[in-house]
Amino acid sequence: MAEKDSSEKRLSSEDEFSRQVGRKEARKLKARDRKDHGVRFGLDMLGVIGWSVSIPALAGSFLGAWIDRTWPSRFSWTLMLLLGGIILGSINAWYWISQERKKIEKDR
């Protein structure tokens, strides 16, 4: 009886090992087929994230500087809109990254 239990455990552990190897091999084959997700894709993604934060920040600072020149007040619209642009761009980048992550998890 003890031999039967140990042989069943050994077979189940071998089956699990085979399944793990099969899953890893399938992921490798899928990654090999997807040529667009290489080093260049990663660098492009960093560029898109950088631009998605910097463009709203620059737009906010330019708009704020124009407001400060046109209608002077005791508040610095340049700083407020710069901060608003950074926040807006960061939210945009976070949303875009989360969508990409969902696609990656879906493929797994």
User: Could you report how far apart the first and last alpha carbons of the chain are, in Å?
Assistant: 40
* Percentage with pLDDT > 90 across the chain: 40
Q: Both 27 and 67 in a single domain?
A: no
Range of the domain at 57: 38-108
Q: Both 60 and 82 in a single domain?
A: yes
Q: Both 48 and 22 in a single domain?
A: no
Q: Both 99 and 75 in a single domain?
A: yes
Q: Both 92 and 78 in a single domain?
A: yes
| Average pLDDT of the chain, as a whole number | 83
**Amino acid at position 103, single letter:** K
Tell me which of 88 and 22 has the higher pLDDT: 88
Q: Both 24 and 47 in a single domain?
A: no
pTM summary value: 0.62
86-102: average pLDDT: 91
Q: Both 81 and 66 in a single domain?
A: yes
Exposed, middle or buried, 97 (CB in 10 Å: 0-12/13-18/19+)?
middle
pLDDT at 4 over 60: no
How many domains does the chain divide into?
2
Helix (H, G, I), strand (E, B), or coil: what is residue 42? helix
Helix (H, G, I), strand (E, B), or coil: what is residue 44? helix
